[in-house]
Amino acid sequence: MTPDLGAWGVLIAVVGGAIRVSTPYLYVSLGETLTEKSGRVNLGLEGTLVMGAMSGYAISYLTGSPWLGVLVAGGIGAGFGLLHAAICNLPRVNDIAVGIALFLFGTGLAFFLGKPYIQPSAPRLPHLGLGAWSAYPQIRAAFEINALFVAGIVLALTLRWVFANTRWGLVVRTAGDNADAARALGYSLRGVRTLATMAGGFLAGVGGSFLSLYYPGTWNEGLSSGQGLMAIALVIFARWNPIHCFWVSLLFGAATALGPALQSIGYTSNYYLFNAAPYALTLVLLVWSSSPRHALFGAPSELTISK
Amino acid sequence: MTKRFGALTALDDVSLRLAPGAFHAILGENGAGKSTLVKCMMGYHRADAGRLLVDGQEHQVAGPRGAHHLGFGMVYQHFTLVPSMTVAENLILGRDDLPAVVAWAAERERMEAFLRRMPFRVDLDRAAGALAAGEKQKIEILKQLFLGRRVLILDEPTSVLTPDEADQILGVLRTMAREGQVTVVLITHKFREVEAFAHEVTVLRAGRRIGGGHVKDLTRGDLVAMMIPPMLAVEALTVLDDKALTAVRELSLAVGAGEILGVAGVSGNGQRELVETLAGQRSPEAGLIRVAGERYRPTRRQMRRRRVFVLPEEPLSNACVRTMTIAENLAFRNFDEPPIAVTGGFLSRRALHDRGRELIDRFKIRAAGPDASLDTLSGGNVQRTVLARELSQSPKVLVAQNPCAGLDVAATAEIRGRIMAARNAGAAVLFLSEDLDELMELADRIVVMFEGRLVYETARAAADPHVIGHSMASHL
Ligand SMILES: Nc1ncnc2c1ncn2[C@@H]1O[C@H](COP(=O)(O)OP(=O)(O)OP(=O)(O)O)[C@@H](O)[C@H]1O
Ligand SMILES: [Mg+2]
């Protein structure tokens, strides 16, 4: 018999949902943070995310190894990052426009190549049962945590440390904040930005594989529903801080989990309204965090949007 | 070093020699090529030609890192601190051997030990973007010193500082240079800093090294004269006369602002053709004219923009229309501008009249009134009318040929006085006259024109009328 947890049940479902759903947000936003810190915006990460989901699923299905799928998804993401960077390295090219083009290209390509994988079911990523101590199945379900989520937390902490304590971190920040300084120091702006965009693409690809290989855990064309774009917006709200990216990803995850959680306790009215919560949250946060009076605090000054 | 940007030669075969411990200033107007020179030294630009020798050895600097290896460090004209980073992060960023992982505890200790030896106090944990300009500049310099540069290049470091801050920073650098710790190259626009701190100076103009030397051998006047292009320059000008014979032969001359260059010579040696060319009445065969360093073609627009005015000889036939009124003749230069020109392409007769009245009074022209025909004026008053027209708009360049010929003593004195006043107001005056006494009285420098060339030049103070008179008649 399932004990009834009532309103607590909703909360636990939302927390569990947040943990599950936040992982792609976390990876895309960390990737975008890294790219933007180097002075470029890559709006194509939505496309990268979908490509990652498709290719990860396909590889897992074909080889039987979901982890290989994750790796390939990341590699394809890095490839998309390289493409973005290579085009942006040409003179008089706007990174926003290239990003939009790659967003459309990535989703289109994924739908085209992914057609054969909609039906079959591929091996999924395993999870860690961190809720095993509890007698409540709801709690056990909520704390079924994927290794990628844990890796994401470690990644956020690592990125923060890298930005503050390593040569790579300092150089990336210099490229993003004062291109003249980077040139004066003899660093190749294009090189730094290319690598940062590729690394960002890798993370977005991994985030995509999480969608198809863990949660929701299938491949179809409506899988991402704009999560990549929301994650890019999330970076602005997180002020380009990897740790904030984590918390804001959780918040977005919670907003996304709200509809299903309410549904799970039988509250089905306004179902679509609650499902729109993450989109509404994006709008609210962006309006709230912008001001006509001051520039975005913490924004890398070399970004086209900062100029 | 030579550096071209497309068609523009920003740096034209400029050399610079730095002794150890020198404090070398580079002067020059905006766009003279100062920044380009040092950026080529730093490997920021790749020079099109030229060599860099350090301790007698030639080095190829592929980029800023190459220059850093040679011990060169530069504080750029625009801040290159990363605003979002702390001072400590900015200090360490410049290291070419920046370790993959920064051991902050040890680095901080090194920085603090370094800062204790420095005369400036700075807070290592402030974000660079939050600092005032003076603080930023100190940190830019500290950064280079922290990185152990031997040659410190500063591109206008004091333009954002107060004089006190500038003195403090430059004073410290001079002391360090004296002790042989660094060699300093200072780009600046401030003569005071050059005189107070530099040992040597190089002056650039339009991409060329135009002069320089030990600061103690040069006066401020010398430096200004080097930096600023002559107000009027004629370069290798060749002009034909009406019979298509060469009247002016590859003639070059330069007149500085606030200077009267007297051109002596018997008439018929090309003076008229030279003046007509400057006035836009005759096209040259070859050569060019520059005003304030820029190419000048005597069109109405350029004359107006550059304020070039001409008092030709025989003004009645060369600069007037005798059948028009005095007011109209006075308005030749500005009838197409407000207030005389009104909307719709019409002229305001009233404004024309009022302006005429005013100039007649100011320049003491004896006339029946502004609306009298120019025909009615005496020769001396025609001269005054042209003078009034040409001098009333504060000329930058004034070309005058025999302006006092045929005038009585009072009128002569008056016109000379007005030309002197224009010179004192900063005009460059090219004064051509057959009257050597007049030139000896007015000119700062005298040249002699003979058969279309300049054959002799002397400062007025050193001028000997006999020598001048002699060279007017033949080659020396
Ligand atoms: N990257 C560039 N591309 C094209 N032209 C350039 C470039 N950099 C400089 N120039 C041109 O080269 C000339 C010399 O410029 P430079 O910056 O050396 O002048 P400067 O003497 O430092 O002047 P300022 O006192 O204004 O700093 C200028 O005409 C400038 O427009
Ligand atoms: Mg400059």
Q: Check whether A1 has a pLDDT greater than 70.
A: no
The answer to whether residues B33 and B175 belong to one domain is yes
The answer to whether residues B257 and B271 belong to one domain is yes
Nearest to A166 among B76, B96, B101 (CB): B101
Q: Which of B182, B168, B100, B103 is nearest to B135 (CA)?
A: B168
**Relative to the alpha carbon of B36, which ligand is closest?**
1
The answer to whether residues B311 and B377 belong to one domain is yes
pLDDT of residue B394: 87
Query: Which residue has tokens 């009645």?
Result: B316
pLDDT digits (tens, 9 = 90+) for B20-79: 999 999 998 888 999 999 999 999 899 999 999 999 899 988 888 899 999 999 998 787
Predicted confidence band of residue B5 (pLDDT cuts 50, 70, 90): very high
| Cα torsion B58, B61, B67, B72: sign | positive
The Cα–Cα gap between B64 and B71 comes to: 11
pLDDT of residue A137: 80
Cβ distance A181 to B43 less than 8 Å, yes or no, reads no
The answer to whether residues B92 and B187 belong to one domain is yes
| Residues of A whose CB is below 8 A from B44 | 183-184
Enumerate the H helices of A143-276 as residue ranges: 147-165, 167-177, 179-184, 189-213, 227-237, 242-264, 271-275
Average pLDDT of the segment spanning A36-49: 96
Predicted confidence band of residue A4 (pLDDT cuts 50, 70, 90): low
φ/ψ of residue B184, rounded to 5:
-115, 135
Query: Among B227, B254, B276, where does a domain finish?
Result: B227
Cβ distance A177 to B83 less than 8 Å, yes or no, reads yes
Q: Check whether A5 has a pLDDT greater than 70.
A: no
Average pLDDT of the segment spanning A62-91: 95
pLDDT digits (tens, 9 = 90+) for B146-180: 998 999 999 998 888 888 888 888 998 999 999 99
pLDDT of residue B159: 82
Q: Which of B414, B413, B322, B326 is nearest to B364 (CA)?
A: B414
Q: Check whether A150 has a pLDDT greater than 90.
A: yes
The Cα–Cα gap between B343 and B345 comes to: 6
CA distances, A38 to each of A115, B336, B430 (Å): 36, 56, 59
* Burial (CB count <10 Å: 0-12, 13-18, 19+), residue B379: middle
The Cα–Cα gap between B332 and B320 comes to: 9
Give the DSSP letter of residue A296.
P
Cβ distance B63 to A186 less than 8 Å, yes or no, reads yes
| Cβ of B33 less than 6 Å from ligand 1 | yes
Question: Which residue from B34, B37, B44, B156 has its CB within 8 A of the most atoms of ligand 1, so it is best to mutate?
Answer: B34
Which amino acid appears at position A75 of this protein? G
| Cβ of B41 less than 6 Å from ligand 1 | no
Q: Check whether B187 has a pLDDT greater than 60.
A: yes
Domains along chain A with CATH numbers: 25-126+147-306 (1.10.3470)
Length of chain A: 307
The Cα–Cα gap between B194 and B23 comes to: 9
pLDDT of residue B106: 93
The answer to whether residues B109 and B165 belong to one domain is yes
Question: Is B473 in contact with B266 (CB distance < 8 Å)?
Answer: yes
Q: How far is B77 from chain A (nearest CA, A)?
A: 11
CA of B34, closest atom in ligand 1: 21
Q: Picking from A95-104, B72-81, B275-284, B435-444, which range would have the lowest pLDDT averaged per residue?
A: B72-81
The answer to whether residues B271 and B168 belong to one domain is no
The Cα–Cα gap between B75 and B81 comes to: 10
Query: Which residue has tokens 């970076």?
Result: A235
The answer to whether residues B246 and B276 belong to one domain is yes
pLDDT of residue A58: 95
The answer to whether residues B72 and B154 belong to one domain is yes
The answer to whether residues B324 and B291 belong to one domain is yes
Cβ-based neighbour number of residue A260 at 10 Å: 16
| Cβ of B28 less than 6 Å from ligand 1 | yes
Q: Report percent pLDDT > 70 for chain B.
A: 99
φ/ψ of residue B171, rounded to 5:
-60, -45
Q: How many domains does chain B have?
A: 2
The answer to whether residues B396 and B302 belong to one domain is yes
pLDDT of residue A307: 67
CA distances, A268 to each of A9, A73, A274 (Å): 15, 36, 10
Rounded mean pLDDT of chain B? Answer: 90
Cβ distance A173 to B98 less than 8 Å, yes or no, reads no
The answer to whether residues B246 and B196 belong to one domain is no
Which two three-digit tokens encode residue B276? 């007509």
pLDDT digits (tens, 9 = 90+) for A186-235: 899 999 999 999 999 999 999 999 999 998 899 998 899 899 999 998 99
Question: Is A234 in contact with A79 (CB distance < 8 Å)?
Answer: no
Range of the domain at B163: 3-227
Cβ distance B80 to A301 less than 8 Å, yes or no, reads no
CA of B39, closest atom in ligand 1: 18
Query: Among B171, B192, B227, where does a domain finish?
Result: B227
Query: Among B210, B227, B244, where does a domain finish?
Result: B227
| Cβ of B38 less than 6 Å from ligand 1 | no
Predicted confidence band of residue A296 (pLDDT cuts 50, 70, 90): low
The Cα–Cα gap between B42 and B46 comes to: 9
Q: How far is B328 from chain A (nearest CA, A)?
A: 54
CATH label of the domain that carries residue B11: 3.40.50.300
pLDDT digits (tens, 9 = 90+) for B364-394: 899 888 999 998 888 889 989 999 999 988 8
φ/ψ of residue B362, rounded to 5:
-65, -40
Q: Which residues contact B136 (CB under 8 A, 6 or more apart)?
A: B79, B81, B128, B160
- Enumerate the β-bridge partners of residue B346: B342
Chain A interface mutation, best of B40, B78, B80, B96, highest count of A Cβ atoms under 10 Å:
B80
| Residues of A whose CB is below 8 A from B85 | 170, 173-174, 177
| Cα torsion A68, A69, A71, A76: sign | positive
Look at B289 and A141; give whichever has higher pLDDT.
B289
pLDDT of residue A293: 54
pLDDT digits (tens, 9 = 90+) for B454-474: 999 998 888 888 888 888 886
Average pLDDT of the segment spanning B424-432: 94
pLDDT digits (tens, 9 = 90+) for A242-280: 999 999 999 999 998 888 888 777 777 777 888 888 888
Cβ distance A170 to B98 less than 8 Å, yes or no, reads yes
Rounded mean pLDDT of chain A? Answer: 89
The answer to whether residues B267 and B172 belong to one domain is no
pLDDT digits (tens, 9 = 90+) for B132-150: 888 888 899 889 989 989 9
Q: Which of B404, B450, B200, B448 is nearest to B311 (CA)?
A: B404
